[in-house]
Amino acid sequence: MVLNPYRYLVQGIASAVVNIGKEYGLELNYKDVVRLITEPPSMNLGDLGVSIHRFAKQARVNPIDFGEKVASTLRNNSEVSTAKVVGGYVNVFYKPDHLGRLIINSLKENPNYGSEPVDKPLRIIVEHTSANPIHPLHIGHARNAFLGDTLANLLRNRGHVVQTRFYIDDTGRQVAILALGYKLLGEPEPPENIKPDEWLGRIYALTNLLMELKDIRNKLKAIELKLKTTGGSEEDLEEYRRFVKKQDEIVADLDRLWSLDKELFDKLSKAIMEYDGDFEKELGKIMMSYEKGEEWAKKLVRKVVDIALEGIKITLKNLDIDFNKWDYESDLVWSSLVEKIIGKAKNSPYFIIYKGAEALDTGKLAKNKEVIEKLGIRIRGEIPPLILRRSDGTTLYTTRDIAYTIYKFRDFNADKVINIIGAEQRLPQAQVKLALYAIGYRREAENLITYIYEMVHIPGMKMSSRRYRIVTLDWMLSELYDRAKKEVDSRRKDLPKEDRERISRELSKAAVKFQMASIDPLKPLSFSFEKALSLKENSAPYLMYTYARANSVLSKINSIEWDNIDYSEAEHPTRKKLLWLIGKYPWVASKAADDLSPELLGGFLIELADHFNRWYGEERIIDEKDPGIRNLKLAITYGVRHVIGHGLRLFGINVLPYI
């Protein structure tokens, strides 16, 4: 059974090139040859082509002579219609009937068509989402979550053993601010009428803003006193105006939060304004005590963090995303691993004291081009030293990231660890790799993959976690559901209410997943509700609609007569193109996994759907009178349904039999 028809054809061409190379005394690298095999820009030029310039040059012969030998070899293949040398390429045409039989037999005989296991499966960790547990997941986390979930699915489809992890960052300043606000409220239980992470997000923002407001008001009083007693200076007046403007901005944000939850606002406002201690000292005390593992701090911080995680897990469950393991950053700190890392760093030739703090001179190591290339680091400009521990004794999150990386490799016996990281973390993650290399963990440094993605925004909306101006994933899903429901209700009045709700729910989840994960991660994403939900083009609902259309055709027949297919009719251009794409699917799914490029799969599925929908409007399928041609058309429809369904499931999307 051929698992991957496209790869089978490519291998045939590559073998011919390698064998002709041997005739000229060349030992060509098979993989290098495969990389040069492409599809010509038009099907009129060939089905596949290979550039032979490089090989002819190595053999010191005319490219046409080398190409003719390759073409002659390929023409002896019973599956090849002809092979031609055109402008430095050998272009190959396959017999449509052989091509059709190869693809349809492969599809029919393999229930999991599209899955092509690697020869040597790896143990791979994909760490993704890993949001700070201080508020609900927002649109930035959404891209991270959907990319991570899709990559895990793609890698599993290749036969790798994949473990997904969520890293709970519970030791930093942000969590300390939330814990302080929660403590000042008297550590109440979350209200039943609001999601717990939403409630804590309000506490975090209010605590931040109220502390800042109190600080600004104290500064304004000091300047006012100076102006009254000494008259002050122009600089004092300018500073006064700047603080007044900032105060007005904070008050506007507080008014918005007051309208969301008046009772919570009043309680927290009273507690903060009447607090006579030093907020910075209190935050430092919480952070330090928690890192030391003092019982009171552990009880306070873990309680608030677990409340936030309760809400986050609800959102993830609604999106059908789960994790194999949840790792608390604090567990690493309380273990001996972080101290061990710092101890190793002190013995490294790259250890320095930088601005009074213990650090590694990662910038010095970064000047070694061989190391930079080996670690796959692409950073412009100088890389600053990596501070390991502040002068007050607390560690930085990058130090804990070093420890966590080592822990992941060892805990799962991982061959590779993939971290899905926002673009703003490019530099710190490069420092982590360099630090691992500097302290002797070279295997981990070389096999740590930093998967960078750019940010997401919705036009007209600005985000600020500190001021609780965030576009939550819960809100996005609700908005998508409402829009999908309106469309489904108008189109499918014949369906029961429960069916319409189910379809709307699946469409809304699919819409956000596909748009977040199918676009090149290195491109900033402007999220459009209209495009995400479009049934006409370039969206998950469009693919789901195409799947349902193919399913509708197949549901009207008893079965396909696989032994009565007229493969000679596969020569029809549109049918041949659809068969070609069906045959190419396992190659695309495998390449998307190997290259960590889900956008390759997304673009391919859209291309397949476009061709099928055009063909659906051009040719009759069920009403075809000729049995052989009818079965060919049904087999093509079956292939389209299978490929789109399989591909969507790799994006974590549930297909529907009808829409």
> What pLDDT, on a 0 to 100 scale, did the predictor assign at position 472?
92
Tens-place pLDDT, residues 600-649: 999 999 999 999 999 999 999 999 999 999 999 999 999 999 999 999 99
The greatest distance separating any two alpha carbons of the chain, rounded to the nearest whole angstrom, comes to 101
> What pLDDT, on a 0 to 100 scale, did the predictor assign at position 539?
95
> What pLDDT, on a 0 to 100 scale, did the predictor assign at position 179?
97
Determine the average pLDDT of the residues in 411-437. Answer: 96
> What pLDDT, on a 0 to 100 scale, did the predictor assign at position 586?
98
pLDDT tops 80 at residue 463: no
> What pLDDT, on a 0 to 100 scale, did the predictor assign at position 439?
96
Q: What's the pLDDT band for 471 if we cut at 50, 70, 90?
A: confident
> What pLDDT, on a 0 to 100 scale, did the predictor assign at position 491?
92
For residue 454 the two structure tokens come to 């750019």
Q: How far apart are CA 581 and CA 57, in angstroms?
A: 33
Residue 525, phi then psi, degrees to nearest 5: -115, 120
> What pLDDT, on a 0 to 100 scale, did the predictor assign at position 127?
98
Tens-place pLDDT, residues 20-68: 999 999 899 999 999 999 999 888 899 999 999 999 999 999 999 999 9
Q: How far apart are CA 61 and CA 64, in angstroms?
A: 8
DSSP state of 538: S
> What pLDDT, on a 0 to 100 scale, did the predictor assign at position 136?
95
pLDDT tops 80 at residue 464: no
> What pLDDT, on a 0 to 100 scale, did the predictor assign at position 44?
87
> What pLDDT, on a 0 to 100 scale, did the predictor assign at position 465?
58
Determine the average pLDDT of the residues in 520-529. Answer: 92
Strand 123-127 with 37-38, pairing: unpaired
Q: How far apart are CA 294 and CA 369, in angstroms?
A: 44
Q: What's the pLDDT band for 467 if we cut at 50, 70, 90?
A: low
Tens-place pLDDT, residues 162-178: 999 999 999 989 999 99
> What pLDDT, on a 0 to 100 scale, did the predictor assign at position 343?
93
Contact 100, 632 (CB under 8 A): yes
Contact 471, 440 (CB under 8 A): no
> What pLDDT, on a 0 to 100 scale, did the predictor assign at position 544?
97
Q: How far apart are CA 454 and CA 524, in angstroms?
A: 5
Q: What's the pLDDT band for 227 if we cut at 50, 70, 90?
A: confident
What are the angstrom distances between the C-alpha of 520 and each of 324, 430, 605, 643? Answer: 26, 21, 15, 21
Average per-residue pLDDT in the chain?
A: 93
Q: Which amino acid is at 435?
A: A
Determine the average pLDDT of the residues in 133-149. Answer: 94
> What pLDDT, on a 0 to 100 scale, did the predictor assign at position 172?
86
Long-range interactions of 395-399: CB distance < 8 A, separation 24+: 395/291, 395/333, 395/338, 395/342, 397/169, 397/171, 397/172, 397/329, 397/428, 398/428, 398/431, 398/432, 398/435, 399/338, 399/341, 399/342
Q: Which residue has the higher pLDDT, 217 or 231?
A: 217
Strand 456-457 with 525-526, pairing: parallel
Query: Burial, 521: exposed, middle or buried (Cβ in 10 Å; 0-12, 13-18, 19+)?
Result: buried
Determine the average pLDDT of the residues in 151-158. Answer: 98
Tens-place pLDDT, residues 313-326: 999 999 999 999 99
All domains in the chain, ordered by first residue? 5-94 (3.30.1360.70), 123-169+324-457 (3.40.50.620), 174-316 (no CATH), 473-650 (1.10.730.10)
Determine the average pLDDT of the residues in 135-161. Answer: 96
Share of the chain above pLDDT 70, in %: 99
Determine the average pLDDT of the residues in 570-582. Answer: 95
For residue 272 the two structure tokens come to 């903060």
DSSP state of 138: B
Q: What's the pLDDT band for 140 if we cut at 50, 70, 90?
A: confident
> What pLDDT, on a 0 to 100 scale, did the predictor assign at position 389?
87
> What pLDDT, on a 0 to 100 scale, did the predictor assign at position 336?
85
Determine the average pLDDT of the residues in 437-441. Answer: 95
Q: How far apart are CA 449 and CA 595, in angstroms?
A: 12
Determine the average pLDDT of the residues in 226-230. Answer: 83
> What pLDDT, on a 0 to 100 scale, did the predictor assign at position 395?
82
Q: Which amino acid is at 481?
A: Y
> What pLDDT, on a 0 to 100 scale, did the predictor assign at position 237?
87
The whole-model pTM stands at: 0.93
pLDDT tops 70 at residue 461: no
Q: How far apart are CA 485 and CA 298, in angstroms?
A: 45
> What pLDDT, on a 0 to 100 scale, did the predictor assign at position 228?
82
pLDDT tops 90 at residue 468: no
Q: In the beta sheet, which residues pair with residue 48?
A: 92
Tens-place pLDDT, residues 293-310: 999 999 999 999 999 999
Among the ranges given (180-189, 429-438, 455-464), the one the predictor scored with the smallest mean pLDDT: 455-464
